[in-house]
Every structure is written in structure tokens, then in C-alpha cells.
Chain A
Amino acid sequence: MFISLWEFFYGNFFRYWMKWILRQMTGKCELQRIFDTCVGAQRTHRIENSLTYSKNKVLQEATHVMQSEVDKCIEDIMKEKNINPEKDSSFKICMKACLLQISGYKQLYVDVENERKKPYDSDNLQHEKLLLKLWHLLMPKNKLKARISKQWADIGFQGDDPKTDFRGMGILGLINLVYFSENYTTAAHQILSRSNHPKLGYSYAIVGINLTEMAYSLLKSEALKFYLYNFVPGIPTMEHFHQFYCYLVYEFDKFWFEEEPESIMYFNLYREKFHEKIKRLLLDSNVALTLKI
């Protein structure tokens, strides 16, 4: 009750009085003060909040700015806020970096969502090629005897045609699987062979698709903001999303064998535990998750 009252007064009155007082004292607007005091993801995050909650239309819309219009947008902001480019020469550079990160995150979600919405299509030659590529990357020594084959189970698909396993993750699931196998081939082979463990084993491809879902939902809920703002100085791209996926695959495998679950039937329990662990790590504004092999 008190908290919501405070939030109401703070959001509607105190915030603006405080900003006005500080402005008079320092001669700088809120954006400039953030650049003076914060660095890294924290800086971008606070700039984003300041813009989002601004009553000024130019500032509000800046969080959605297109890459090609960033320079003009910054000029407009400087005009609105009476920022003198000669007095504060770094403002332009700092603001540009922040805006590219902020609007880039939103664009990345749109791009990822587009791939996810494309179902796997056996009539699409590119999809088929990608699927066969996954086989060759993971099983370089074993030939796939037919497109529809029980062999697919060897790399952890459920039945004899993987197409039905992509489901809600669409072609994004396959792209992720191929990316990891191609860029971390040795690790992929190790994890695949570990996943055939008689007692602790799991289905490699299916678990991979489940982890695509985890990466996707973290991106969607904006939980990846600190991570991407720290990790990528400019515009985050699909490549960075795939990198995060690779981190999840590698870490999940480690987590699974450390926890020693009773059987694969407990997968969802440990998946949730792992999910919570990752969410906790992502809450830290200094977060840096890198795949160390």
C-alpha cells in the first residue's frame, strides 16, 4: 500500500522535482548525469529508463529509433534538452552507443521471433540441407542411410523424421543446433557422446530444442538486457543470440552431470532449476557469461 502510494507520488511528482533541482544545481540534464556516473550495462539500462519514462515525445520515441536515423535522433534530443555540443563533446558518442544497444535489443527480438515462427518445412530445400548438415557435423563418420531413418535417434531426435520435433521453436531450433555443432564441433561431439550415458543420458537434439526455448523466452522477457548490453558494444545481432544459446547448451550439460538426476524422467525439474540459476546470474548488471572451453 505504502509502496504503491510512494510509486505514484514518485512517478508523478517527486521524480520531476528532483530532476529539476538537480538540473539547477549541476547545470546538466538527467541523461548527462547518467553518463557522468554510470558505465556498462547499468548506463544503457538507466538511459533506457530515463527515455521511456520521459514526458517528452522525442525522448520517448528514441528507444525505438531505426539504425539509419540515430544521428538525427540524437541531434533532436540535444536540441530538446539544450545540450551544447562544444561543452559536452562526449554526449553524442555515448548516446549513440546507448541508442544502438537499446533499439538493437528490440530489433533482435523481432528477428528471433521471425525465425521461430517459420515452421520446419520438408519441401524447403534450405531447411532440408540444414538438417543434413547437422547430421554430417555431428556424425562425420556415419552415413545417414535414408532421410527418414531410425538413425536420427542417435543424435537425440524422437522418431525417424526430425521435422516434427521442432514444433513451437520452428527453424530457429535447427539453426541453433547447427550453429553450436559448427562453431564448437569438439564440444558438440563430447556432449553428444556424454548424452548417450546409460544412466544419466538425455536426448541431445530434443534437449537442444528445449534450450532454444529457454534462450528465446529469456530474450522475450527482457532478461538478457544486462548480458547483451555488457557483451555487445553496438547493435546485438542473431549471432549474439546463438552465442548465448551455445553458453546454455554447454553449461546445461555440465549442470546435468553434476546434479546426477535419477533418470531422464526428471528432466523438467532440473531444467527449471537450471533456468532459475541462469535468471539469477542475469540479474547482476555486471553479468558476463562466456563459454570457456
Chain B
Amino acid sequence: MSEIKKIKNLKEFSTSADRFEGANLLCPGCAHSIIVREVLNATNDDLILSASTGCLEVCTAVYPYTSWDASWIHIGFENGSTAVAGAEAMYKALKTKGRLKQPDRVPKFVAFGGDGATYDIGFQWISGCFERGHNMMYVCLDNEVYANTGGQRSSSTPIGSSATTSPAGRVSYGEKQNKKDMLAIMAAHGAPYVAQVAPNKWKDMVAKIQKGFAAEGPVYINAMSACTTEWKFAPEDTIAISDLATDSLVFPLYEIINGSELNITYRPKNIVPVRDYLGAQGRFKHLFTKQYEYLLDEWQTRVDAKWVQLQRREEARV
């Protein structure tokens, strides 16, 4: 077992040497990149990475450039999880057979995928990897939309959001379905560790990533990734919007250990109304009309109910 990197505070963290490089093609203000940095910098161990087709993949490995300082693979939209699982299987095989080139170094295996690749098209592949128990971490960069292809809805797109395939219009308030509860599904696989994280809460994020790296078996991380382009806010506001998301409890931060023990890891001092979060983004603009105002109340009710449920589960310790 390798040593856990000591990160007492942000100053100490800032001595990290990034393994993700600039001049990638992600939008200015993209949260994906902030998340990737926080994940990679949480360890000094070697890394074997994958990405499913999506913003991160298409912006960081466009020939003849790579933005990755660790070995990295992309196959398709649905199979980033299985790509890294295959590499992990090869690691095990070569370890058994004594053919590893650097036998003393134990790499971490990490797959990145957007919510389209995770909640939708790659769902079965991820489930397979988790059922088989590969020693890997899957990080979903959850921006609640197919941002790479211009803003189509996914099963992570929340109710009332206007996406290009569920647009708001004269007789529609946009997306009709509620977001899939991916964390509960992954916890139900019996994964040793699953957690929801947000890049603005870097310390919470790093602590969870380190817990995940220390766990034996598949780890699922759902990372909220505020999307300046598709959520429609100014690029400099990425962290401010992320703060609204975590402080309104639209994105509560919690972890589930061994499929049962739930811990809430962030309790906002001042809980912000959900309408403040929604109102800061263009994708919800149409809700702030007389016609659809009732949806704002429904939103608040839903978020409140989820928060109560999480607290009950935390208390119940089951």
C-alpha cells in the first residue's frame, strides 16, 4: 500500500506538480479541469487513466497534442470504465507473472466520463466493472447535459432545465424527468466507497479522493461540474455557481461506505434558497415566469425532502 499524500492545507496542496496540462481545448472557466486537477493532485502515486468520449476526452487528446502526463486511453463513448478495467486486469496478470517493468510502483486506475457516458450510454459497462470488483476509481464529471455535442439532455439533466433535445418552449418547461440517483445505484453495487463531490469544496473533494484511493475495489465519485457554456453563466462565475449548488443543497456532499454507511460531509452554515441557484443560470431562465413559477416551489420541496432523507439515513447508520 502506497503512502497517502499529506495535504494539510491549500498552501501545502499548491506545491503539487500537475499531471494535467494547459493549452487543452476545454472552455475558459470549465469545471472539468478543476476537478481533474483536484483528483490527480490528491495522490503522488503513478496513474493509469481513461476517458470516455466527451468534453474532457475531446479537448485533451486532439492529435498531435496530449494534455496528459500519465498514461491515458480513450476507446469510445460507453467503455471508458472497461478500458481502465482491462488495464487493471493486465496489471494484475503481469504482477502475477513477474513481468511488471516497475514492480515496486502501484499505479492508481482512474476512469473519467461525463454524465452522458455515465448515466446513459456507459451505464452497463460501469455496472459490470463494479460488479466484478476491479480496483479502480470512476469519476463522473456531472454537468447534467451532453455539453460536448451542444447541450442535449441526458438522464442527469434536471427537471425544468432547457436542453436542445428537451427545449423550453411555448408549451413546455423543458426537461420533464428528474435526475437519476446515480450515487444510490452505485452504492447498491456494494462498492466500498461512493461519494458526491464539488470542485469548490476542494478539501472535501481531496479527502474523498484519498479515501477512494485507499479503498480496495471499485470507487464511484460523482463530481458536480458547473458548465459555463450549457448552464449559461459567465466563465468567471464557475466557483460562485458551484457554491450556490452546494449551499442550496441541490448538490449535497456526502459519501456512502460499503453500500450502507452514509455520511454528510458538508453542512452549509447558511442554506441558500434553490431559486437563487436556478436564477443564476440561463438554462432555468424560463422558470421565472408566471406560467412556470410553481416549478420553483416543487424544486425547493424536492431538495428539502432529499436533505431530510440524507440526514435520516445518516442517523440510521444503515
Decide if A and B are genuine partners.
no
Tell me the A residues contacting B by CB distance below 8 Å: none
